[in-house]
Amino acid sequence: MNPPFVVTSGEPAGIGPDICLSIAKRADNSDFVIFGNIDLLKKRAEMLDLDLTLIEYHPTKEPAELGNNEVFVTNFDLYEECYAGSLNKKNSAYVLEMIESAVEACLKDEFKGCITAPVSKEIITDSGFYFKGHTEFLGKLCGKKPLMFFVSETMKVALATTHVSLKDVSTMITENLIANACKIISNDLKLYFTESEPTIGVLGLNPHAGENGLLGKEEQKIILPVINDLQNQGLKIDGPLAADSAFLQEPNRDVILSLYHDQILPLFKYSNPHLAANVTLGLGIIRTSVDHGIALDQAGKKHADYESLHFALNTAKKMANHAERKNRQTS
> CB count, 10 Å around CB of 86?
10
Distance from C-alpha of 157 to C-alpha of 203, rounded to nearest angstrom: 11
Match domain 1-143+285-304 to its CATH number in 3.40.718.10, 1.10.4160.10, 3.10.129.10, 3.30.420.40. Answer: 3.40.718.10
Centroid of chain to Cα 77: 25
- Show the CA angle centred on residue 151, arms to residues 255 and 109, nearest 5°: 105
The sign of the torsion formed by the CA atoms of 81, 54, 85, 135 equals positive
- For every residue of 28-67, DSSP letters joined together read TGGGEEEEE-HHHHHHHHHHTT---EEEE--TTS-PPPP-
Q: Helix %, strand %, coil % for the chain, to 5?
A: 45, 20, 40
Residue 81 pLDDT: 95
Residue 35 pLDDT: 98
Residue 250 pLDDT: 67
Distance from C-alpha of 153 to C-alpha of 168, rounded to nearest angstrom: 32
Taking alpha carbons only, the member of 169, 155, 252, 229 closest to residue 204 is: 169
Query: Model pTM?
Result: 0.94
Q: What is the pLDDT along the chain (331 residues), one digit of tens a residue?
A: 689 999 999 999 999 999 999 999 999 999 999 999 999 999 999 999 999 999 999 887 766 789 999 999 999 999 999 999 999 999 999 999 999 999 999 999 999 999 999 999 999 999 999 898 899 999 999 999 999 999 999 899 999 998 889 999 999 999 999 999 999 999 999 999 988 999 999 999 987 776 776 677 888 999 999 999 999 999 999 999 998 888 887 668 999 999 999 998 888 888 887 789 999 999 999 999 998 999 999 999 998 889 999 999 999 999 999 999 988 887 6
β-strand 236-241 against 276-281: which pairing, if any?
A: unpaired
The sign of the torsion formed by the CA atoms of 81, 59, 70, 10 equals positive
Detail the DSSP E strand segments found in 245-302. 255-258, 276-281, 287-289
With contact defined as beta carbons under 8 Å apart, do 288 and 264 qualify? no
What are the extents of the domains in the chain?
1-143+285-304
Distance from C-alpha of 160 to C-alpha of 172, rounded to nearest angstrom: 9
**Cα 155 to Cα 149, 195, 220, 276, 305, distances in angstroms:** 11, 17, 27, 9, 21
